[in-house]
């Protein structure tokens, strides 16, 4: 029986007559092509979704090495169900990690619940007791199974150190727990806004180290002892005023009447805490207010002492994100110097590209920088603050440092754009020496790689794929990247049987007619090249990353593109200028100009695709997105209405002055100026053309719901028609199942010109 729950047609059991009809349509057995946007298209979309979700086999979802052993396990989806596999590298064996049937029986008896061996109700395991016991979580409890007896029992639940934080929360200054010195002889604490110490055995009375703390300028509770227990480092803080935003939860689960909620949520331009470093010498009670080169601060990191206690360092991010420093403080006299100083005329991408590793107690420092126009690694002399050498260089980028081996003086890292002839966003793994020599590719296959290394970094499990290449998993040497053992190769026969085809990677030139822009084209299964198909673009132009899928069947968004295409559209996604993971110049396009969103590149890309494929109708283009993509999709109808005709915008940040401080000041800068208003959708509301649907969750604490409401107010004042869906109780989202169905219907009606099928008719 099929039933529709908002978006999804959920099937516990699909009757064969229905499946035959769908299969006939999908496989092309029907001599007449179905009309677009009809009930059958919605149902076929669900069949595609279910197949992509559940019938891609031998593509491990989790790989984990066993501590201190050359063995690893992985969870493998197979036609006969999920199997946990164990690989012994030395023994060159691969087998099931345990008897799934016995464990299912034992767990069912212990938990008094139904457990199936082909779908065990956990995704991760942990081997203990030299591999004789596995632990896992089920029903919010911890369990263990003895693999000799298959006795299953509960274990003590390990504490969960995660805690919720909202944008703009403080840093835990309310925590006044005393901090014990490394030698155990002293405790330090903040009392009445000042720093105190006392002998741990309470043999002497507490003693104040500072006397100038007050409610308006208090000392931080983050008191950092030097390793020799002779000194303390901390900050004196001039706090800021909280910025509360409010939410009315209309339909709470625990009461009939609405609830009022609030969050501390700092926005661009709000005051931020300002900190001053202080040094305390315990024996002499010496107190030094450290004088540094810091100006208006966005943030500082907590002090970090060198192991020999010669001093401490901390990082300083200047307000506006155009200067970033590592500041070192002498542990004896409190004198400060700039150890590393980065500057930019636009922005320093501290949230996505900053990397620091202290070698040999800070005698050397590995540092990431875009100073030559590409994100690369540099080796600093930590004593002089001078660059010893650039470690990596070229027109490609470092994506992530995986391992620094101080003894071998080598670095394993992720990079992209180095392999010629490959999509520059694909991730590969490399090893290089501190001196920049010996650069070795550990992976080269044409795909995005995800590596999981053994604890000694001798081996790694490498899974690679592309959107048009199913995953391949191999065991490799971490020395030279050679394949030691083939582990799995994905089986997508269930997808090909229903006529599914992988998206096409399409490349065209950017606005400068030189830079390549990469994106994907998704077509419906039953597409006919003699017909015309409207285009729908999924947009997310957030500058903090790149967003077009690069991995096969990677996440819900990728599958969602295929579902939407089945309704009778060509669906596309791409990364225009202003997004990350390319050159610094490519990224800088977003600077103080979020409204650009790469639209000149996007429009040119879609037109190039339509020129190559006549069945793509570039006169009927829709667009949708969430969060930053919600801002982008609405802006398409305001700023580029001659090209984009229909937009669905959910959880939109429609004015960067209304959104969280860190994200918006990172790209739009500080102080707040006219450029903020210029990028605001509310500013341009009177320019709206086309059909617009706004979706909003009333409890969105990621993007202030008032951002959408203010945009709506501007549209109303400009007498502009639009549609709106408020989802009660929902947070930051695309509208859930209900919102997704409304989005599909909106495109079907306004791009295809077809009245969407009745929801009840989908049963």
Q: What is the CATH number of the domain that holds 603?
A: 3.40.50.1820
Neighbours of 242 (CB within 10 A): 15
Q: In 3-state terms, what secondary structure has residue 328?
A: strand
- pLDDT value of position 276: 98
Q: Alpha helices, DSSP H only, in 320-427?
A: none
Distance between CA atoms of residues 547 and 625, nearest Å:
12
pLDDT in tens, 66-118: 999 999 999 999 999 999 999 999 999 999 999 999 999 999 999 999 999 99
Helix/strand/coil percentages in the chain, nearest 5:
20, 35, 45
Distance between CA atoms of residues 525 and 18, nearest Å:
18
Backbone angles phi, psi at 549, to 5 degrees: -60, 140
Dmax over Cα atoms in the chain, in whole Å?
Answer: 94
- Per DSSP bridges, beta strands 644-650 and 691-697 are parallel
Per-residue 3-state assignment (H helix, E strand, C coil) for 179-220: EECCCCCEEEEEECCEEEEEECCCCCCCEECCCCCCCCCEEC
- Edge-first strand order for the sheet with 71-78 is 62-65, 71-78, 81-88, 93-96
Q: Alpha helices, DSSP H only, in 202-361?
A: none
Q: Which residue has the tokens 């500082």?
A: 300
- pLDDT value of position 559: 80
Q: In 3-state terms, what secondary structure has residue 156?
A: coil
What does the DSSP 8-state code read for residue 594? G
- pLDDT value of position 26: 43
* 586 part of a folded domain: yes
Q: Which residues of the chain have pLDDT under 70?
A: 1-35, 157-176, 554-557, 761-763
What does the DSSP 8-state code read for residue 756? P
* 447 part of a folded domain: no
Query: In whole numbers, what is the pLDDT of the chain averaged over residues?
Result: 92
* 305 part of a folded domain: no
End-to-end Cα, the chain, rounded Å: 8
Among the listed residues 665, 659, 600, the one whose alpha carbon sits nearest the alpha carbon of residue 628:
659
Distance between CA atoms of residues 685 and 711, nearest Å:
7
Q: In 3-state terms, what secondary structure has residue 406?
A: coil
Backbone angles phi, psi at 49, to 5 degrees: -60, -45
Distance between CA atoms of residues 188 and 672, nearest Å:
40
* 541 part of a folded domain: yes
- pLDDT value of position 647: 98
Among the listed residues 355, 358, 350, 354, the one whose alpha carbon sits nearest the alpha carbon of residue 305:
358
- pLDDT value of position 623: 98
- pLDDT value of position 164: 40
Q: In 3-state terms, what secondary structure has residue 711?
A: helix
- Edge-first strand order for the sheet with 483-489 is 448-453, 459-466, 469-477, 483-489
Give the H or E element holding residue 21.
helix 16-27
- pLDDT value of position 53: 85
Q: Which residue has the tokens 């919010």?
A: 140
* 522 part of a folded domain: yes
- pLDDT value of position 8: 36
Backbone angles phi, psi at 456, to 5 degrees: -95, 5
CB of 241 closer than 8 Å to CB of 166: no
* 722 part of a folded domain: yes
Torsion of CA 624, 627, 632, 637, to 10 degrees: 60
Distances (CA, A) of 417 to 88, 373, 533, 575, 621: 34, 14, 33, 15, 31
Q: Which domain holds residue 627?
A: 499-753
Backbone angles phi, psi at 652, to 5 degrees: -70, 140
Cross-strand partners of 725: 695
CB of 592 closer than 8 Å to CB of 669: yes
Among the listed residues 412, 422, 373, the one whose alpha carbon sits nearest the alpha carbon of residue 394:
373
Number of domains making up the chain: 1
HSE, side-chain direction, 13 A CA sphere, residue 618: 15
* 676 part of a folded domain: yes
Among the listed residues 160, 162, 231, 220, the one whose alpha carbon sits nearest the alpha carbon of residue 195:
220
CB of 411 closer than 8 Å to CB of 457: no
Among the listed residues 180, 181, 182, 213, the one whose alpha carbon sits nearest the alpha carbon of residue 195:
213
Neighbours of 634 (CB within 10 A): 31
* 302 part of a folded domain: no
Distance between CA atoms of residues 401 and 485, nearest Å:
25
Give the H or E element holding residue 695.
strand 691-697
Q: Is the peptide bond before 297 cis (omega within 30 degrees of 0)?
A: no
Query: Hey, CA dihedral for 543, 544, 546, 552, is it positive or negative?
Result: negative
Exposure class string for 11-46: b at 16+ Cβ within 10 A, else e: eeeeeeeeeeebbebbeeeeeeebebbbebbbbbbb
Cross-strand partners of 4: 9
Q: In whole angstroms, what separates CA 19 from the centre of its chain?
A: 37
Distance between CA atoms of residues 85 and 75, nearest Å:
6
What does the DSSP 8-state code read for residue 124? -
Q: Taking each helix axis from N to C terminus, what angle separates 39-54 and 556-565, rounded to the nearest 10 degrees?
A: 150
Q: In whole angstroms, what separates CA 442 from the centre of its chain?
A: 25
């Amino acid at each position: 029986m099929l039933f529709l729950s908002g978006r999804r047609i959920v099937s516990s059991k699909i009757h064969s007559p229905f499946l035959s009809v769908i299969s006939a349509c999908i496989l092309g057995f029907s001599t007449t092509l179905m009309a677009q946007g009809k009930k059958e298209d919605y149902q076929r979309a669900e069949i595609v979704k279910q197949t992509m979700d559940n019938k891609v086999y031998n593509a491990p979802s989790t790989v984990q090495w066993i501590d201190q052993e050359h063995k690893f396990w992985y969870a493998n989806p197979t036609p006969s169900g999920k199997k946990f596999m164990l690989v012994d590298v030395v023994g060159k064996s691969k087998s099931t990690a345990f008897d799934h049937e016995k464990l299912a029986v034992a767990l069912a008896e212990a938990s008094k619940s139904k457990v199936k061996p082909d779908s065990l109700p956990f995704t991760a395991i942990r081997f203990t007791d030299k591999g004789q016991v596995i632990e896992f979580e089920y029903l919010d409890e911890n369990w263990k199974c003895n693999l000799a007896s298959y006795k299953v029992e509960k274990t003590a639940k390990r504490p969960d150190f995660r805690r919720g934080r909202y944008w703009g929360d403080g840093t835990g200054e309310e925590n006044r727990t005393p901090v014990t010195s490394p030698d155990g002889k002293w405790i330090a604490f903040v009392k009445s806004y000042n720093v105190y110490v006392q002998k741990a055995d309470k043999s002497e009375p507490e003693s104040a180290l500072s006397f100038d703390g007050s409610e308006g300028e208090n000392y931080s509770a983050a008191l950092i002892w030097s390793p020799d227990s002779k000194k303390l480092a901390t900050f004196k803080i001039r706090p800021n005023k909280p910025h509360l935003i409010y939410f009315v939860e209309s339909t709470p689960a625990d009461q009939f009447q609405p609830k009022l909620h609030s969050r501390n949520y700092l926005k661009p331009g709000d005051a931020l805490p300002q900190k001053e470093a202080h040094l305390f010498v315990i024996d002499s009670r010496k107190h030094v207010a450290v004088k540094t080169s810091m100006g208006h601060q966005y943030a500082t990191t907590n002090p970090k002492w060198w192991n020999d206690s010669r001093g401490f360092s901390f990082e300083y991010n200047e307000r506006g994100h155009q200067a970033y420093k590592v500041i070192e403080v002498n542990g004896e006299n409190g004198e400060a110097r700039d150890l590393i100083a980065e500057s930019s005329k636009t922005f320093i991408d501290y949230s996505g590209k900053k990397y620091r590793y202290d070698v040999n107690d800070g005698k050397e420092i590995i540092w990431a920088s875009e100073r030559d126009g590409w994100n690369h690694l540099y080796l600093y002399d930590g004593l002089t603050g001078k660059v010893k050498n650039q470690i990596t260089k070229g027109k490609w980028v470092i994506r992530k440092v995986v391992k620094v081996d101080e003894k071998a003086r080598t670095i394993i890292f992720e990079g992209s754009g180095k392999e010629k002839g490959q999509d520059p966003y694909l991730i590969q793994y490399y090893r290089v020496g501190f001196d920049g020599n010996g650069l070795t590719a550990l992976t080269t296959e044409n795909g995005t790689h995800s590596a999981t290394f053994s604890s000694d970094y001798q081996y790694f499990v490498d899974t690679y794929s592309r959107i048009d290449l199913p995953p391949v998993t191999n065991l490799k040497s971490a020395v030279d990247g050679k394949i030691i053992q083939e582990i799995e190769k994905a089986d997508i026969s269930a997808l090909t049987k229903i006529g599914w085809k992988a998206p096409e990677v399409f490349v065209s030139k950017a606005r400068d007619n030189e830079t390549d822009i990469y994106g994907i084209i998704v077509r419906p299964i039953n597409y006919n090249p003699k017909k015309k198909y409207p285009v729908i673009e999924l947009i997310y132009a957030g500058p903090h990353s790149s967003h077009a899928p690069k991995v096969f069947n990677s996440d819900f968004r990728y599958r969602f593109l295929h579902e939407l295409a089945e309704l009778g559209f060509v669906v596309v996604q791409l990364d225009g200028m202003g997004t990350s993971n390319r050159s610094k110049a490519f990224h800088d396009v977003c600077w103080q100009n979020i409204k650009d969103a790469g639209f000149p590149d996007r429009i040119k890309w879609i037109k190039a695709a339509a020129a190559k494929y006549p069945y793509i109708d570039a006169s009927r283009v829709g667009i949708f997105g969430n969060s930053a993509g919600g801002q982008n999709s609405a802006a398409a109808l305001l700023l580029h209405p001659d090209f984009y005709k229909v937009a669905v915008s959910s959880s939109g940040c429609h004015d960067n002055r209304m959104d969280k401080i860190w994200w918006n000041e990172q790209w739009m800068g500080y102080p707040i100026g006219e450029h903020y208003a210029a990028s605001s959708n509310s500013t341009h509301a009177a320019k709206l053309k086309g059909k617009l649907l706004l979706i909003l969750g009333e409890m969105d604490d990621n993007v202030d719901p008032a951002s959408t409401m203010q945009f709506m107010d501007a549209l109303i004042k400009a007498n502009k028609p639009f549609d709106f869906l408020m989802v009660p109780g929902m947070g930051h989202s695309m509208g859930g199942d209900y919102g997704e169905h409304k989005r599909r219907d909106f495109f079907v009606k306004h791009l295809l010109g077809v009245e969407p099928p009745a929801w009840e008719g989908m049963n």
